């Protein structure tokens, strides 16, 4: 326990150090007399922009809209991925049926669907959530399938010689054995959700963080752009942390614990 404590605190120190270094370098550059604040706004401007947008309510409504889309898309996409992935990974018939389809569609970047989705469903909330859903589904399902296929045979054999039915083996062996893969899939899906969220909002939205970015660009408010970037980074970071907690809890049994 001691060693872990020291290690994690050292980790924290170094992490803070590297962030502080970037911060200082940025401050130093923006303090140079020949710096153009329209390209690299000083930190004070970025903070000011944060408070302006906070007070006007723009920031919170944008954050709310984006978090709603992310949550919906992520939740629906990964849930579908879990169901489809388990079926494909566990039942040979379904695998032969569905796997070629997934393999064919997988390399297509989810953003490529944006035009066709806009044509079909218009520029509305449904379309944006749909794009995130597709992105989350695609990256997650591959991991779920891989997890199911990597269940060590000896565990399956052990369970079935003890009288487990095929479904019991699935529930008591395959799912837990595949958990590391599944969680990884969820984490990658979270990253994909942010990417597609911002992209879909840049193209077609009247609110959301991506829209704030776009607005900042249009009015040349670089401080606003920078501010939104930091907010997105912060949100994604916090979500990933929460995920790691969940992962650590579900994976107590595993040797590899981060």
Partner 1 sequence: MPEIKVNDLTHTFGKGSPNALTVLEGIDLTFETGSFNTIIGTSGCGKSTLLKMMAGLFDPSDGEMTLDGTVIKGTDRRRGMVFQQDAVFPWMTVAKNISYGPRLRGASKSDQREIETKWAKMVGLTGFEDRWPRELSGGMRKRVDIGRVYANDPDVLLMDEPFGALDAQTKERMQSDLLETWSTTKKTVVFVTHDIEEAIFLSDNIIVLSSRPGRVHHIEKVTLPRPRSNEMRLTEEFLEIKRRLWGMLDH
Which residue ranges make up the site for partner 1 (CB under 8 A)?
A: 154-155, 157-164, 168, 172-173, 176-177, 179, 252-255
Give whichever of 93 and 252 is closer to partner 1, judged by the CB atom. Answer: 252
- Could you please report the per-residue DSSP string of 179-220? HHHHHHHHHHHHHHHHHHHHHHHHHS-SSSHHHHHHHHHHTT
| DSSP label of 33 | T
Q: Which of 93/161 has CB closer to partner 1?
A: 161
CB of 80 to partner 1, least distance (A): 25
With beta carbons less than 8 A apart as the criterion, state whether 142 and 102 touch.
yes
Q: Please check whether residue 140 is in contact with residue 78, taking contact to mean a CB–CB distance below 8 angstroms.
A: yes
Least gap, CB of 99 to partner 1 (angstroms): 24
Nearer to partner 1, 33 or 253 (CB): 253
Q: Report the residue number, 35 or 160, with the smaller CB distance to partner 1.
A: 160
Q: What distance in Å separates the CA atoms of residue 206 and residue 144, rounded to the nearest whole number?
A: 35
Q: How far is the CB of 169 from partner 1 (least distance, A)?
A: 10
Between 126 and 155, name the residue whose CB sits nearer to partner 1: 155
CB 188 → partner 1: shortest distance, Å? 22
CA angle 53, 18, 47 (to 5 degrees): 15
Residue 208 CB neighbour total at 10 angstroms: 26
Question: Tokens 């170094």 — which residue?
Answer: 14
Report in angstroms how near the CB of residue 89 gets to partner 1 at its nearest: 17
């Amino acid at each position: 326990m001691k060693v872990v404590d020291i290690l994690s605190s050292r980790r924290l120190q170094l992490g803070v150090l590297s962030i502080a270094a970037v911060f200082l370098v940025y401050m130093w550059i923006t303090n140079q007399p020949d710096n153009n604040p329209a390209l690299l706004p000083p930190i004070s401007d970025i903070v000011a922009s944060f408070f302006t947008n906070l007070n006007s309510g723009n920031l919170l409504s944008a954050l709310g809209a984006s978090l709603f889309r992310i949550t919906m898309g992520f939740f629906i996409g990964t849930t579908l991925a879990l169901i489809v992935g388990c079926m494909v990974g566990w039942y040979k018939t379904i695998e032969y049926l569905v796997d070629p389809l997934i393999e064919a569609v997988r390399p297509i970047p989810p953003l490529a669907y944006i035009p066709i989705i806009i044509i079909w469903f218009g520029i509305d909330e449904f379309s944006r959530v749909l794009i995130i859903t597709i992105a989350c589904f695609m990256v997650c399902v591959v991991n779920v399938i891989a997890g199911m296929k990597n269940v060590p045979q000896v565990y399956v054999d052990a369970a079935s010689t003890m009288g487990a039915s095929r479904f019991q083996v699935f529930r008591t062996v395959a799912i837990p054995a595949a958990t590391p893969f599944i969680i990884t899939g969820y984490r990658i899906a979270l990253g994909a959700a942010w990417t597609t969220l911002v992209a879909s909002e840049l193209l077609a939205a009247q609110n959301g963080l991506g829209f704030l970015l776009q607005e900042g660009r249009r009015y040349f408010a670089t401080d606003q752009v920078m501010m939104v970037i930091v907010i997105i980074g912060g949100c994604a970071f916090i979500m990933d942390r929460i995920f790691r907690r969940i992962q650590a809890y579900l994976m107590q049994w595993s040797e590899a614990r981060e």
